[in-house]
Amino acid sequence: MTPRKETKYLPPRPISLKTLGDYLDLSPATISLVLNNAPGVRSIPQKTRDRVTEAAKKFDYRPSYSARSLRNRQTFTVGVLVPELSDVYYTLVMDGVEEVLLEEGYLYLTASHRRKADLVEEYTGLLMERSVEGFLAIDTVLTHPLSLPVVAVPGHRKIEGVTNILLDHRRAADLALRHLQKLGHRQIAFMRGQKFSSDSDDRWKNLMSVAQNLGMEIRPELTIQLQLNTASPELGYPVAEELLAKGNPFTALVCYNDVAAIGAIRAFRDHGIRVPEDVSVVGFDDILGAAYHNPSLTTIRQPLRSMGSSAARILLERMRGKNDHSSPVTVLPELIIRESTMPPNPKPWLKPKREPRHSSGGRGAGTTG
């Protein structure tokens, strides 16, 4: 008669840390060190570490997130406040944020507030109830300090406990206007951002200041104001039509952002005005589609991914008490010259052939620059 083979004890499922320890003949503390990659894990032989990870995988064991959180008084969760999830500005910033948070083992909870002040307040409270350890506020207007560390991208208000990351808008204005000036443009139209956009006021003030220093005139009849609350090129279409309908000649347009610039170019084309042969157009942000638009867009590049990764790193440092980062963090823009700008046409374009067919109105999601 063939003797029966001994079979090793198999723990039941779902499995606990104790039963996994019994199965491996190791202490729960050793297993916890390995699975949490905790300090001191290097003192455990690699062979033992491999046994633990293989057994955990075999029995689908995962460390208790709640127990870990209670033990360390951490939830490894960050709250993110944004106006709208589909905004290209938000998407690029979040690419950088996600890269850092994933690398550091953090989750994030996102709340889209549609630029409604009451929702900003409500969602902030709800995220705190879910024990987030800090906030990233992307193109979100904050009005008062919070009890947790906050990093704002972009941030322009000085609020206790909020670290602001912002672009050097004076340099951005200088790059854009000097580029047009060197090409020979003197009759330049300007597009202002929506009043609710975080960068709008700062960008406009710097454009006016730099224009004055360069001897350029910002004429009211060549200034247009974005109104729509949308993340599509529709943003720039109606205001470009309004500018054309006034009949005042101009050879270049400085746009608030790339999305609006693309809409403005379409409006010009619909009226038989060529870009850049008749009107040069400068955008802002350097979104993913800017290089592939026809014509490819001359623009001021914001390092949005790098701003996002910097924001995430600064927030984690603040959450860990390593640095209070009380001073603003300023990043530098870059001029990207493409096909949408050239020297002005000596033969100016004529007044549009038809009246504007689009009227301004609000729908959709907000954009920023």
Residues sharing a CB contact under 8 Å with residue 240, sequence separation 6 or more, in sequence order:
224, 253, 263, 264, 267, 268
pLDDT, tens digit (0-9, with 9 covering 90-100), for 8-61 = 556 656 677 778 888 888 887 788 778 877 656 777 899 998 999 898 888 887
* 316 half-sphere exposure, CB direction, 13 A CA radius: 19
| DSSP symbol at 294 | S
CA dihedral sign, ordered 159, 165, 168, 173: negative
Q: What's the mean pLDDT in 133-140?
A: 95
Distance CA 236, CA 255 (A): 8
The size of the chain, in residues, is 369
Could you tell me the strand order of the sheet in which 329-331 lies? 107-112, 77-82, 135-138, 150-153, 162-167, 329-331
Instruction: Output the pTM of the full model.
Output: 0.76
Name residue 152's beta-bridge partners: 137, 164
Q: What's the mean pLDDT in 208-227?
A: 96
Q: What is the 3-state secondary structure (H, E, C) of 134-191?
A: CEEEECCCCCCCCCCCEEEECCCCCCCCEEEEEECHHHHHHHHHHHHHHHCCCCEEEE
Question: Which amino acid, one-letter code, is at 214?
Answer: L
| DSSP symbol at 196 | T
Q: Look at 20 and 134; give whichever has higher pLDDT.
A: 134
Q: What's the mean pLDDT in 139-154?
A: 94
Which domains, from first to last, does the chain contain? 17-70 (1.10.260), 75-167+305-331 (3.40.50.2300), 169-302 (3.40.50.2300)
Three-class SS state of 69: helix
Lowest mean pLDDT among 70-84, 136-150, 194-208: 70-84
Is 80 within 8 Å of 52 (Cβ atoms)?
no
